[in-house]
Amino acid sequence: NRLNENAVFSGMSQLNILNLTGNRFSQISPLSGMDQLTEYSLESNSLTEIETLGELPALEKLSVASNCLTDTE
């Protein structure tokens, strides 16, 4: 796929699984209103940080392998 930060996911409040593997995300925007999201996959993108996830109360699995993440203690 060729999705990037400009992709819109608003209005998907009942979504349970969001798989954005293999795109061009270098950063992620908070996913507000996605209270039912249990799995979020962002593998094989260009992410450098994941600090802006937002509130995802039902999230059980977050996949971020094969990105450019750095430890920012």
* Cβ contact 18:41 at 8 Å: yes
**Where do we find the tokens 């593997």?**
21
Alpha carbon distance 12, 22 (integer Å): 21
- Chain centre to alpha carbon of residue 39: 9
The tens digit of pLDDT for each residue in 17-59 reads 999 899 888 887 777 778 899 999 999 999 988 876 778 899 9
Alpha carbon distance 73, 57 (integer Å): 24
pLDDT value at residue 60: 96
State the Rg of the chain over Cα.
12
Structure tokens at 10: 């608003």
| pTM metric for this prediction | 0.81
